[in-house]
Structure 1
């Protein structure tokens, strides 16, 4: 009797283990289709760029609010533009840094987004906005270690700040430039050294196409404003 019970218990554990494995494999298959097969997802969004951002509250709820505070709703609804979209996490990190600085210097900290002047939000959002609808295929190749051959290309943002934008071609299995391709954008901090003074940000997803342009999403570890100028501008404007 005891042996029968042990055998029965083993069968149950084996069955549960097999069932869990099947569920895991099914989940992996679904995840693979989403993450690895670009043909399975539709990059087109049937709405304006502002509507697209509003439809992704986890990533862009704060960004959508800032667009309204900055008075840029018309541009995000009507202009044909390319937006290198910083995520809400980037903004939250910037606000945390700002509040730390305000606290240390004896100024009142920020409570709500409207505590920051619209002109400051406008200035920094426009750094991420570019005229025209450019997908990854529209940008030149960039090799950080061989800029003389593959330099990317410089572009002016909406507020005439210069950025270098390019596509990095990774190596694979010893074959140069044959691997994964991804966009990067670099803020040119010193015009006297236009190829050596970049603050760069990588793009986590690219080529989302609302009706009036293209959205490329920046990595969540990106610093909003590309450096700490945002913190100092908020401090000076308080």
Structure 2
């Protein structure tokens, strides 16, 4: 009986080791192969935004309001850093709160009433000519400046790869998207990290920004809109 019991214990221990090794192997491979890209979308950049019901209505509204912008999203060879509805809501809340608190108080504004030329200059900062994807940024350790669509305003793109489960660079890919604010000092820059990258559409490249991003990169947009 003692001999049989020992055999059972040895077999059980062996099975536990096999299960543990298999489990670790699967987990490591999952992290190593981690990819937060959404692959290829069969349609234009404009059609992608339209297909994400309830997420990009504000961006589409602005694109349709501004001359030539919807055409760029439909046929232009561009890279778009897409700000969702919440980003626009945050910007409008901050703008209108400042207008309410000013003396004398200023009338509230919306995406339909903000000066179109001003709105256009800030929206175009989210559009970079050409197809800029994570692989094209890997060679630039400190990132690279790119002139934005229509106004040649410099924005900075920097590739970011996190580590996962012991694998260097095995975590999610991301791009740090920065408004340098015409300053050479990074302490003056305003930055945001993407949540999804490298969505290839029929005419461009898409990178998605988080809901917490304040459209316009904060105070500069607020001050420009509220300038008397």
- Is TM (by shorter chain) over 0.5? yes
Larger RCO, structure (CA 8 Å, separation 6 or more): 2
For residues 74 and 186 of structure 1, what CA distance do their matches in structure 2 show? 25
Correspondence list, 1:6-155, <5 A: 43-71=39-67, 72-105=69-102, 106-110=105-109, 112-140=110-138, 150-155=141-146
Q: Do the aligned partners of residues 164 and 113 (structure 1) sit closer, same or farther apart at CA in structure 2, a change above 3 Å counting?
A: closer
Q: CA RMSD in A?
A: 2.5
The CA deviation string for residues 27-49 of structure 1, in whole angstroms up to 9 with x for no partner, is: xxxxxx9xx9759x962222221
Q: Quote how far apart the aligned CAs of 1:197 are.
A: 3.3
Match of 2:177?
185
Q: Secondary structure at the match of 1:216?
A: strand
* Partners of 1:176 and 1:208 in 2: CA distance: 23
CA distance in 2, matches of 1:78, 1:115: 27
Q: Report if aligned partners of 1:187, 1:200 keep a CA contact under 8 Å in 2.
A: yes
Normalization by structure 1: what TM-score?
Answer: 0.73
Q: Secondary structure at the match of 1:51?
A: helix
Gaps of 5+ in 1: 1-32, 143-149
Q: TM-score, normalised by structure 2?
A: 0.76
Matched-pair contact (CA < 8 Å) for 2:34–2:172? no
Shift of residue 139 of structure 1? 1.2
Instruction: Give the C-alpha shift of residue 227 in structure 1.
Output: 2.2
Residue 140 of structure 1 contacts residue 153 of structure 1 at CA under 8 Å; is this kept in 2? no
Where structure 2 has 5 or more consecutive residues not aligned to the other structure, the ranges are 1-29
Whole-angstrom distance in 2 between the partners of 1:168 and 1:42: 17
State the Cα distance separating 1:117 from its structure 2 match: 1.6
2:160 is aligned, of 165, 168, 180, to: 168
Whether 2:212 is the aligned partner of 1:215: answer: no
Aligned partners of 2:208, 2:40: CA distance in 1, in Å? 15
Using the alignment, how far apart are the partners of 1:73 and 1:133 within structure 2?
18
**Alpha-carbon displacement from aligned partner over 1:210-235 (angstroms, at most 9, x marks no partner):** 21101101111111111212212221
> Equivalent residue for 1:231?
222
Distance 2:215 2:143 in 1: 22
